[in-house]
Structure 1
Amino acid sequence: MTLARASDPIARLLDDFRDGKKAALARAVSVVENHRPGFDRLLAALHPSLGRARRVGLTGPPGAGKSTMTTALARLLRDQGHTVGIVAVDPTSPFTGGALLGDRIRMESVALDPGVFIRSMATRGSLGGIASATREVCDVLDGFGIDFILIETVGVGQSELDVARASDTTLVVLVPESGDSIQTLKAGVMEIADVFVVNKADRPGADRLRNDIELMLGLRGGAAMRNVPAHHGVDLKALSAEEREATRQAMNPARAARAAASADHPERWVPPVLQSVAAKGEGIVEVLGALDRHFRYLEASGELRSRRRARLRERVVEVVEQKVRSRLWADTGTMAWLDERLAALESGTLTPFGVADELLERSAGLIARSTLHAPRST
């Protein structure tokens, strides 16, 4: 090792990382999560090796059993010989600003497995159900050679959808107490699911919730009355067996959705609605089977490449926004210039839009400067 390399902590970390040392993985995740000096160099070095891991997002309301489901899936994947990375996003502590680490406590049964890496992350004010650095941490796990990355969100409502943009497959976990049938028709988290799981299915109302979700899928897919023949002057008994089955499914959107979800179609995916009791390990094999089927669909249809390209595009946008914000609002000259215009804004002489345009024009050099140069005031 050269003297220059010995004095470069990121270079030394990358050497250990590429040697497969778990301690180096933990340090790399910390560097990236906290945006410590050199985190961008670290991510840039790992970027060419990304794309091997399958990323599965697990989301749903609080108390749905997401941590238990994540643990059960991790255990089954380990039984199959896969390595597993778990990114568990916990609510932020209002006192320390850190994660409560409740997910890590629930995952105790797999925490000591050398083929499982668990990272708990605090949301730190992020409102999308995952932490702001979640995708970057997933990149580190991917670069390390992890086979499956399970991303567990905090308990979410109807609009925390960031997990879908961070995952190849999104698993929505619900329980019979998730709400009435109207909840299944609402936009938001119900629309991002690639696979639905009604967990705690040994409780009353599980079958009804499954039927409600399948009814929603059938109605949204246009299954209702699609293939129903005109009944005036038509002898329904004269229909073939296939036509009668198509008619029965069309008149029952839930049945149609269930039938469509069980069929392998290379260009169309209908989310299956499964049932499980994750605490007892029941239904987990079927859940993993659905995840495998969805991944095969993604590959065959070209959707996998589309989703990953969209993720890269969004990543570039995020990096640009972060750099622009840090360069503008950390610049003392820019802030002083803005303060001088507050009086005109108060009086109505200037508008926020006009000031913003002027600010961007005067700050073009600041925004475009190389990161190799030290921050400057204008």
Structure 2
Amino acid sequence: MENLLKQILEGNKRSVGKAISIIENDLPEKVELLNQLYPYTGHAKVIGITGPPGAGKSTLVDAIIQVIRQTGAKVGVIAVDPTSPFTGGAILGDRIRMQKHALDPNVFIRSMGSRGTLGGLAKTTREVVRVLDSMGNDYILIETVGVGQSELEIINVADTIMVVLHPGGGDTIQAFKAGLMEIADLFVINKSDLPGVEKLIHEIEMLIEMTKINANWKPPIIKTISTNQVGLEELWAALQNHQQYLIERGVLQKQRTSFLKREVVELLHHLFQQKIDVAIYTQFFNKELDQLVNKERSPEEIARIMFEKICPMKS
């Protein structure tokens, strides 16, 4: 473990890939690995890219990687893809679209399967972010699934959230229904050479006025054509402005503290669920189930009895 930790901190891609596999497969050494890496995290700026399918998120991520590398910064990318129901692996393979960066030692790209998780992210995304952070990346880009699941989970992981839309796709109302309009720190209208771009901008502006979630930050709207590198300078400037806002207003630390609290609560839920799953297959549960079927006890009473057996409260 010590040698693996050392190589991760040195930015060894093979070791980083091994660490991510340990996390994704929930191997016994996972907890120790994450404990060892944790003190070296918290430095990278985390940017979430979300939005409906067809908006060109992967192509845009590819363009942003290029902009980041021009500044000399290191970048890690997590592309969360839908999971194949047959193999359990990611089926879109965003890394295929980013092959030109594959040989760059300062770019690390990993596709992850969502494995049926709602929220557009894999369960292990936060943990993988920590691995990419500890290996010395200055920026971490997270591209969500974008295939109809709720994408809102990204708000609990990323410092800055970019919602990508495109003209003519009926994106605005769909995004509004999904709650994406409320979580956006900036909007990107990709494929802005298509008809209907001004109409889309007008719709977004109206929805921003309707929501007004944050009185101190109004999400900018940036037009891009990622395939031609159009609008990338404006997008990069907008991202920098938001990062500066987070730091100057003291929002970044509060936001990240909130992320950590939520993560601990979710981990507790997971541990309780594991304990409950084991308990319900015991002989005790079969006995209580008979009482339930025979109308001797109600489901509410059975649940409370089981809870007290599984998690006894000490007086």
TM-score range, shorter chain: over 0.9
Match of 1:354 among 285, 288, 301: 301
Corresponding residue of 2:82: 91
Corresponding residue of 1:343: 290
When normalised by structure 2's length, the TM-score is 0.93
User: For each residue in 1:146-184, what CA deviation from the matched residue of structure 2 results, as whole angstroms up to 9, or x when unmatched?
Assistant: 110000001144732011111000000001133176446
Q: Counterpart of 1:107 in 2: which secondary structure? A: helix
Higher-RCO chain (CA-CA 8 Å, sequence separation at least 6): 2
Q: How does 1:1-378 map to 2 (within 5 A)?
A: 10-157=1-148, 159-179=150-170, 182-183=173-174, 185-186=176-177, 188-221=179-212, 268-331=216-279, 335-364=282-311
- 1:318 alignment partner AA: E
RMSD over aligned CA atoms reads 2.2
Give the deviation of 1:81 after TM superposition: 0.5
User: For each residue in 1:96-155, what CA deviation from the matched residue of structure 2 results, as whole angstroms up to 9, or x when unmatched?
Assistant: 111114211111122221111011000101011011111110011111111100000011
Relative to structure 1, the CA distance from residue 95 to residue 199 in structure 2 (aligned partners, 3 Å threshold; closer, same or farther) is same
Q: Distance in 2 between matches of 1:60 and 1:89?
A: 13
Corresponding residue of 1:248: none
Greater Cα radius of gyration, structure 1 or 2: 1
Q: Distance in 2 between matches of 1:103 and 1:277?
A: 18
When normalised by structure 1's length, the TM-score is 0.78
Q: How many residues align?
A: 314
CA contact (8 A) 2:48 2:160 kept: yes
Q: Distance in 1 between matches of 2:93 and 2:137?
A: 23
Give the deviation of 1:206 after TM superposition: 1.1
Q: Distance in 2 between matches of 1:153 and 1:185?
A: 17
CA contact (8 A) 1:170 1:194 kept: yes
Q: Counterpart of 1:171 in 2: which secondary structure? A: strand
Give the deviation of 1:19 after TM superposition: 3.5
User: For each residue in 1:202-247, what CA deviation from the matched residue of structure 2 results, as whole angstroms up to 9, or x when unmatched?
Assistant: 000111101110121123339xxxxxxxxxxxxxxxxxxxxxxxxx
Structure 1: gaps spanning 5 or more residues: 1-9, 223-264, 369-378
CA contact (8 A) 1:58 1:170 kept: yes
CA contact (8 A) 1:157 1:189 kept: no
CA contact (8 A) 1:184 1:213 kept: no
Give the deviation of 1:52 after TM superposition: 0.2
- 1:63 alignment partner AA: G
Relative to structure 1, the CA distance from residue 95 to residue 185 in structure 2 (aligned partners, 3 Å threshold; closer, same or farther) is closer
Sequence identity (%): 44
Deviates more, 1:82-91 or 1:172-181: 172-181
Q: Distance in 2 between matches of 1:116 and 1:59?
A: 20
User: For each residue in 1:278-329, what CA deviation from the matched residue of structure 2 results, as whole angstroms up to 9, or x when unmatched?
Assistant: 1111111111111110111111111111110111001111221222222332
CA contact (8 A) 1:58 1:151 kept: yes
Corresponding residue of 1:246: none
Q: Distance in 2 between matches of 1:77 and 1:55?
A: 13
Give the deviation of 1:82 after TM superposition: 0.7
Relative to structure 1, the CA distance from residue 127 to residue 279 in structure 2 (aligned partners, 3 Å threshold; closer, same or farther) is same
Q: Distance in 2 between matches of 1:158 and 1:192?
A: 15
Structure 2: gaps spanning 5 or more residues: none
